[in-house]
Amino acid sequence: MGMQVGGNKGGAMADMNVVPLIDILLVLLIIFMVINPQNEMGLNALVPQPTPPNQQQNQDLQQKTIVVQILADGKIKINDEESSWNGLEARLDEIFKQRAEKTAFIKGDDNVLFADVAKAIAMMREAGIDNVGFLTPHMEQGQ
């Protein structure tokens, strides 16, 4: 009600009408709920794309791609070149010193501990590699 008249000996008594105010607040609440962007959770993963079956792989692209492989016996390879845990960071730093795109992939054998993979990723980050992707057997087969 906007106003009550009579009943009191003191004269007119005004009551505030809160229904339109509540309607406006509910509409604003709905608008802000719809506009609010949804936060995405997760990690960005880089996946190398396999070469189509009828084409030869580009040699320039193959030289550009760096794959750090962790073997089951604890050895490390960088693009089929033997390396050691102590020299991994220095070798990666040397490789990526002249490159503008700092992307590398990591591949581990089936029975390699995740701690070794995490250690290699940390060394890759220390060497200045911005993006680290994972290679799985399915990706290598082109599936």
Residues with Cβ within 8 Å of residue 57, at least 6 apart in sequence: 51
Question: Given this model, what pLDDT does residue 54 score?
Answer: 66
Tokens linked to 42: 């997760």
Predicted TM-score (pTM) of the model is: 0.54
- Cβ-based burial of 20 (10 A; exposed 0-12, middle 13-18, buried ≥19): exposed
Q: Write the pLDDT tens digit of every residue in 76-100.
A: 988 888 888 888 888 888 888 877 7
Residue 143: pLDDT over 60: no
**What pLDDT was estimated at residue 35?**
82
Residue 45 has pLDDT above 70, yes or no: no
Residue 61: pLDDT band (50, 70, 90) is very low
Token representation of residue 107: 């591949």
Q: Could you state, in order of their start, the residue ranges of all structural domains in the chain?
A: 3-35, 59-140
Tokens (6 digits) for 142: 């082109």
pLDDT at 100: 76
Task: Give me the architecture of the 59-140 domain, per CATH.
Answer: 2-Layer Sandwich (3.30)
Length of the chain: 143
Model pLDDT, residue 109: 82
Whether the per-residue pLDDT at 36 is higher than 80: the answer is: no
